[in-house]
Amino acid sequence: MPGELQKQIRTQGHLRGMIAFMHLPRISLFSCLFLAGALAAPAQNAGEKKLHALDPALMDSRVDPCVNFYQYACGGWLKQNPIPADESSYGRDTELADQNRLVLKSILEKAAAGGEGHSANEQKIGDFYATCMDTSAINQAGLKPLQPVLERISALKSKDELPELAAYLDSMGISSFFGFSSDQDFKDASQEIAEFDQAELGLPEKGYYDRTDEKSVKLREQYKAHVARTFELIGEPAAQAKQDSEAVLKIETELAKYSLTNVERRDPQALYHKMTLEKFSSSTPGFGFVRYLRALDAPPVASLNVTEPVFFTGLNLVLGSTELDAIKTYLRWAAIRQIPGTSLPQALDEESFNFYGKILEGQQQQQPRWKRCVRATDRALGEALGQVYVAERFSPQDKQRTLELTHDIEAAMDRDIDQLDWMSAATKVQAKTKLHAIANKIGYPDKWRDYSSLSVVRGDALGNAERAAAFEVRRQINKIGKPVDRGEWGMSPPTVNAYYNPLMNDINFPAGILQPPYFDPSLNDAVNYGDAGGVIGHELTHGFDDQGRQFDAQGNLKDWWTEEDGRKFDQRADCIVKEYDGFVAVDDLHVNGKLTLGENIADLGGLKLAFLAYLGRAQKDGVDLAKKGGPEYGNLTPEQQFFVSYGQGWCENNRPEVLRLRVETDPHSPEEFRVNGVVVNLPEFQKAFGCKTGMPMVPADRCSIW
């Protein structure tokens, strides 16, 4: 139950969809490695394929790079890689995630088989995975494991009992009317405080409840039908189930009315309202928050952050005007919706997939059970599984070379700040102070999470899911009132992603992404600076995007800019907003330039930093930038290799349904625009490919911040 700020601001990642939403590395230390040769590669699992950061076979050389660079770099890959039936999209990151899942599957199958020499954590991950895979036992148990939750909701006698019921549900990771957790204090990032947040509802975000276009109206009807079918599957007559689905949608629509939009939630100033518990409780008399905290056994709460006070004012009105039976119906739905499908009987699992997978994302069929159980185990016991993964796939040498690479990109940013003509000397001093304070976290945490208090019972799938959720809830809540643990990670080591956390002021690169096709030790610096270097630069730039720039070197929400420099930044950021607003993602839907602004700034700034770092490395090593590489490098010059490797990192096919979903909810732009939308703003790209001004990839006006 991590704080919503952690999801919206804290973990600003490179890739989408992984804690959900997150990147990679490149640099000087790589030139040494290329000369010395790569470390011995770990043994491959059956089904693994060889991936490269730059592969000429994935290009479409018939396309003019100055007209459509994304198609030039990725055209071959896009044709060769149709979307599998069990995916809503498929890209280079999916290829690597599939490779990692094969590794994790092998680890989990060995752990599940038991035997001497297994640690307690290995026993737990093996038992969790084996239980998840035992669909016969799950189906045989049927709805029986759900009964304690459903009966507790059914036993609600009055609204006055809601605080204790909400605490019971939240203790198992089932969010009821709002979100509650710990988070860093925005104004004192060294301390953890309690945080109350708006509810996470059944549809992806606020706009799904109030848009009146034909597709949105149809989707709400499909959602109601899904809710009704779910109620039928837990035993309700069809007529009652239909009536209850109407009640659910009505309550969720009312709660959405008082919620902030995704764009509004990108402003950290809008999400910080620190107050005493007494003031918060008195402002929402319809719900006993003091009793809720007592029932949840939370640490003493003197002050807390309320991300959206207006939402809780609205919640007070909704609870007051809604009949008790409708509230119980809403809570039954909230509970069923949030229980992992892998721990539910097949019929409920498939019904959930039919709406959230097929209708919302266009996925044609459910993924194989083993993939879903690997993911479920990683979600529940990520650092226990990650510890074994790291031992097999990520050496201390891997960690050191990535750290050195990161230092190279950071040095490029230091030089870049010096040459900014729009920033004053005073603000440059503060920018460098923040840059030099950024902590680099590579591969895995220095201290592994302790899972000794988490009980995993072989054969009890729902119980394991509930206990894992309860473990995480308790871990988060126990932080309240304590100093921040700056060694903590927000992703598990096998994750194919990376992120920047402005409250921690750190960049985080899990071991799972530090391999081909992102970092490829078999290829040269030009390739690796373009791909992995762009990722590192992306994460660094997040510290100075429209959100990150509002936090200082210690992670506090503090304005360290001169007023004039702040205005200049906003003007330059507005150029990027307008550029991306003009991109059509699918059908009639344009990219939302404000929603994606932070990621777009990071993409543009990150690639610029990586290019600056590469030029420095090439000069130091005496690289002839005019000399073309061999066939393995597509007969391209080093600068062209740099840009093509960056472009190929984003090759991806998407179903139209998931593109529509992403435009409404995802802070990352579709992949095509993460390539073309970046290179159009870089004179270095124009020079590398000899493009003439006025061609599609070389507009007369460019956007530039960092």
Say whether 603 is catalytic. Answer: yes
Measured between alpha carbons, how far is 425 from 418 in angstroms, rounded to an integer?
9
Buried b (16+ CB within 10 A) or exposed e, 541-578: bbbbbbbbbbbbbebbbeebbeeebeebbeeebeebbe
Buried b (16+ CB within 10 A) or exposed e, 641-663: bbbbbbbbbbbbbbbebbbbbbb
Measured between alpha carbons, how far is 699 from 67 in angstroms, rounded to an integer?
11
The pairing of beta strand 589-590 with beta strand 652-654: unpaired
- Helix, strand, or coil (residue 462): helix
Measured between alpha carbons, how far is 407 from 568 in angstroms, rounded to an integer?
28
Question: Which class for 48: exposed (0-12), middle (13-18), buried (19 or more C-beta within 10 A)?
Answer: middle
What type of residue sits at position 183?
D
Helix, strand, coil percent values for the chain (each to nearest 5): 55, 10, 35
Measured between alpha carbons, how far is 690 from 641 in angstroms, rounded to an integer?
14
- List the structure tokens of 467: 């206990």
Say whether 539 is catalytic. Answer: yes
Count, residues in the chain: 706
The pairing of beta strand 439-443 with beta strand 652-654: unpaired
Strand partners, 510: 443
Contact of 75 with 63, CB cutoff 8 Å: yes
Handedness of CA 66, 671, 25, 103 (dihedral sign): negative
In order, the DSSP letters of 372-439 are: HHHHHHHHHSHHHHHHHHHHHH--HHHHHHHHHHHHHHHHHHHHHHHH-SSS-HHHHHHHHHHHHHPE
Q: What are phi and psi of 276, to 5 degrees?
A: -75, 155
Strand partners, 194: 182, 304
What is the CA 185 to chain-centroid distance, rounded? 22
- List the structure tokens of 642: 């740099």
What is the CA 1 to chain-centroid distance, rounded? 15
Contact of 145 with 462, CB cutoff 8 Å: yes
The secondary structure element, H or E, covering residue 254 is helix 238-257
> Would you call the peptide bond into 683 cis, given omega within 30 degrees of 0 as the criterion?
no
Strand partners, 471: none
In 3D space, the residue among 432, 10, 338, 61 whose CA is nearest the CA of residue 192 turns out to be 10
The helices-and-strands tally (H runs, E runs) of the chain is 30, 12
In order, the DSSP letters of 131-152 are: HHH-HHHHHHHTTGGGHHHHHH
Q: Which of 308, 546, 603, 639 is labelled catalytic?
A: 603
Measured between alpha carbons, how far is 149 from 263 in angstroms, rounded to an integer?
35
Q: Which of 87, 539, 599, 664 is labelled catalytic?
A: 539
In this structure, how many other beta carbons lie within 10 angstroms of the beta carbon of residue 443? Answer: 24
* Sole residue written with tokens 């960690």: 399
- Active site members: 539, 603
